[in-house]
Amino acid sequence: MPDLPDVYADDAVLRSWLSRLLGADGLALADGPLKALAAEVMGPLRAAHRDAESHPPVLHQYDGWGARVDRVEVSAGWERLRVAAAEHALVALPYLPEARERWGAGARVVQHALLHLYGPESATFTCPVAMADGAAALLSRSDVDAAVRDAWLPRLIATDPAVAITSGQWMTESQGGSDVGRATTAAFPAADGSWRVQGEKWFCSAIDSAMAVALARPNGEGTGSRTLAPFLIPRYAADSPLAQPSAPGNSSAPGIYLHRLKDKLGTRAVPTAEVSLQDAYAIPVGDPHSGGLIRMMTLVVITRLHNAAAAAAGMRRGLAYARAYADARSVASGRLAENPLHRSTLAMLAVDAQAAFALAAHAFALLGRIEVDGDRAAEAELRLVAPLAKLTTGRLAVASASEYLECFGGAGYVEDTGIPRLLRDAQVLPIWEGTTNVLSLDVVRALNRSPGLGDAFLGKLDAAIQQSTDLLIGGAMDGLRAARFALTDALAAAAADPTDQRVVAGARNMSLTMGYALALALLVEHAAATGDEATKVAAELWGRARLAADETAVDAHQSFEILCG
Ligand SMILES: Cc1cc2nc3c(=O)[nH]c(=O)nc-3n(C[C@H](O)[C@H](O)[C@H](O)COP(=O)(O)OP(=O)(O)OC[C@H]3O[C@@H](n4cnc5c(N)ncnc54)[C@H](O)[C@@H]3O)c2cc1C
């Protein structure tokens, strides 16, 4: 493997967005924590990542004496990544009063930067981080019982690894993941006022976490998704050391049984279990008979944003690796980094990575404005941006990962180079937390329920068309105009009748076009605000390639230095 760049100092895209979204003072304050994390990523955490990837978790259902324990043994590397996640406040930062004081709404921007540095070589510890953040946001809601919040939230947002915990999220059942309304897990009030849960959960990631938020149907409620409610389930027996859930001697709480761990294509270090709940103790998160699904969406929006961050970060790190290899590797015509065809390939990957980053960065910035400023316009915008960012970056990440493997030739297919996992781990991104189809239908639903959203979206494109005209970014202008033309009728049709066959069948194309157009509008906006040359070039090439169906190869080759450094 060639020498790799500094994941923070050499990431011009990250630094340019941070400087705009945080301002000079905010960036100066974030510089220390980001440098500290980057230094760990390039040293011990890279080693921990490799260790966790090569020592997948093991389920021990029984102890030596035959007692059922359902204990998951994880690697030292996984534990090291857990410690780093807590110490660097990956979950905690946006909840800490001092961070909100320092960065205001930008606390979520700083968190996104931390995730961007940490994620790609974290053996997917980003998964428990995402779910812990989702659980923390859920528990922070004002309609959640303060006693429940006070008991669990401080641990979810602790920066002391001895205290910090993560969370799972148990929604999917074998009869339906996308359609949670089919859930058969039921919750019953017990005589002592607490609740018990009965059911089978089919995909429970980070099963070593100290708690999970599970969807269950309170006894007596009708069918469908709207009667489901979130319940907090402590994962371990009461006397277990919560901070070290995989420690020897630790066992499942009564009524929680792990059938087996999933043998997955990727995310191999993440223990994902099939779980049986047999009268397991559960705590309602809010009123179980009212608004449960809406509360659960607080969590789901957060994990969708983390998914987008992971996709975008993986693309940037893949580019850094492939770029470094292009300097080191020679082919028939000389160094790869001087070959026009390879330069063009890498440059277009860099453009994709910039577009994905713009979507993730914007989504986190909106979230911060909602949480800290109570910004209603940001809330309305995020209703569309969350599914669009998740679905667009998920698809881009898989396509890019495949290209990155190819950039390494045969070495990209050989396990001990560490490269193949880029593709394996990317493939989960379009699946969990809503597949591309399911999120596309969510976009249609949002357009139908809030008719103003479509107009606001087109308004954003119009503003970007004006900016790209002012900046003379012709490709962006062409791309935005093409998208606006294609979307005008599609958005109106979706708003009018979300069940119309043409709307349903066309939902995926419409949503991907929206995602591409949104990314382009954000790149143009960023270029207008900063004058950043690399962003202008990315907007030009992205608009032409993704939306205006124009050939970009030669221009991409000529823009290699500015896009790939
Ligand atoms: C690595 C990994 C980790 C996971 N971890 C968790 C976890 O921790 N907790 C959890 O709850 N779940 C988890 N999941 C499950 C994941 O969220 C579901 O697999 C996902 O939501 C899809 O549900 P499904 O598997 O039932 O597929 P299905 O819903 O059966 O989907 C099958 C196909 O049908 C399509 N489809 C579904 N509905 C529609 C529709 N209405 N219109 C058009 N097309 C449709 C989908 O796009 C897909 O292509 C995990 C999955 C993976 C792969």
Q: 459 CA to middle of ligand 1, Å?
A: 33
pLDDT of residue 245: 52
pLDDT of residue 246: 52
Per-residue model confidence as pLDDT tens digits over 442-488: 999 999 999 899 999 999 999 999 999 999 999 999 999 999 999 99
Q: 92 CA to middle of ligand 1, Å?
A: 28
pLDDT band at 266 (very low <50, low <70, confident <90, very high): very high
Going by C-alpha positions, the residue among 317, 425, 328 that lies closest to residue 1 is: 328
Cβ count near 260 (within 10 Å): 11
Atom number in ligand 1 closest to CA 171? 11
| Cβ atoms 228, 180 nearer than 8 A | yes
Atom number in ligand 1 closest to CA 436? 47
pLDDT of residue 249: 55
Q: Give Cα separations from 144 to 131, 269, 326, 376, 416 (angstroms).
A: 18, 33, 53, 21, 47
Q: Give Cα separations from 207 to 33, 53, 118, 270, 518 (angstroms).
A: 29, 17, 21, 8, 36
| Cβ atoms 453, 520 nearer than 8 A | no
pLDDT of residue 247: 55
| Cβ atoms 129, 85 nearer than 8 A | yes
pLDDT of residue 565: 82
pLDDT above 90 as % of the chain: 91
Q: How is residue 40 written in tokens?
A: 């760990």
Q: Ligand 1: residues within 6 Å at CB?
A: 168-172, 176-178, 203-205, 264, 267, 272, 428, 431-433, 435, 437-438, 441
- Residue 239 reports pLDDT greater than 60: no
Q: 430 CA to middle of ligand 1, Å?
A: 9
pLDDT band at 431 (very low <50, low <70, confident <90, very high): very high
pLDDT of residue 248: 53
Q: How far is CA 344 from the centre of its chain?
A: 28
317: Cβ–Cβ under 8 A, 6 or more apart, which residues? 7, 120, 121
- The CA-based angle 295-442-312, given to 5 degrees, is 90
* 3-state secondary structure (DSSP) of residue 409: helix
pLDDT of residue 105: 98
88: Cβ–Cβ under 8 A, 6 or more apart, which residues? 33, 36, 37, 40, 114, 118
Per-residue model confidence as pLDDT tens digits over 483-519: 999 999 999 999 999 999 999 999 999 999 999 999 9
* 3-state secondary structure (DSSP) of residue 246: coil
- Residue 10 reports pLDDT greater than 50: yes
Buried b (16+ CB within 10 A) or exposed e, 356-395: bbbbbbbbbbbbbbbbbeebeebebbbbbbbbbbbbbbbb
Quote the CA–CA distance of 50 and 419 in Å, as a whole number. Answer: 11
Quote the CA–CA distance of 462 and 353 in Å, as a whole number. Answer: 24
Quote the CA–CA distance of 265 and 428 in Å, as a whole number. Answer: 9
- Residue 117 reports pLDDT greater than 80: yes
Atom number in ligand 1 closest to CA 431? 20
Going by C-alpha positions, the residue among 134, 282, 288, 263 that lies closest to residue 203 is: 263
Atom number in ligand 1 closest to CA 131? 8
Q: 431 CA to middle of ligand 1, Å?
A: 6
Q: 252 CA to middle of ligand 1, Å?
A: 26
**Average pLDDT for 417-430:** 96
Going by C-alpha positions, the residue among 350, 284, 351 that lies closest to residue 545 is: 351
- Atom 5 of ligand 1 has which residue's CA nearest to it? 205
Q: 438 CA to middle of ligand 1, Å?
A: 9
Q: How far is CA 140 from the centre of its chain?
A: 20
Q: 176 CA to middle of ligand 1, Å?
A: 7
Atom number in ligand 1 closest to CA 266? 1
Quote the CA–CA distance of 113 and 90 in Å, as a whole number. Answer: 10
Indicate the residue type of 359. L
- Residue 243 reports pLDDT greater than 70: no
Q: 432 CA to middle of ligand 1, Å?
A: 6
Average confidence score pLDDT of the chain: 95
Q: How is residue 387 written in tokens?
A: 């599914």
- Atom 31 of ligand 1 has which residue's CA nearest to it? 178
- The CA-based angle 454-310-75, given to 5 degrees, is 150
Atom number in ligand 1 closest to CA 265? 1
Q: 428 CA to middle of ligand 1, Å?
A: 10
- Residue 240 reports pLDDT greater than 70: no
Going by C-alpha positions, the residue among 536, 509, 541 that lies closest to residue 524 is: 536
- Atom 26 of ligand 1 has which residue's CA nearest to it? 177
- Could you tell which of 172, 277, 424 is best to mutate to test the pocket of ligand 1, judged by most ligand atoms within 8 Å of the CB? 172
**Average pLDDT for 49-67:** 94
- Residue 3 reports pLDDT greater than 90: no
- Atom 40 of ligand 1 has which residue's CA nearest to it? 438
pLDDT of residue 238: 65
pLDDT of residue 250: 67
Atom number in ligand 1 closest to CA 172? 11
**Residue at token pair 């929604």:** 171
Q: 173 CA to middle of ligand 1, Å?
A: 10
- Residue 281 reports pLDDT greater than 80: yes
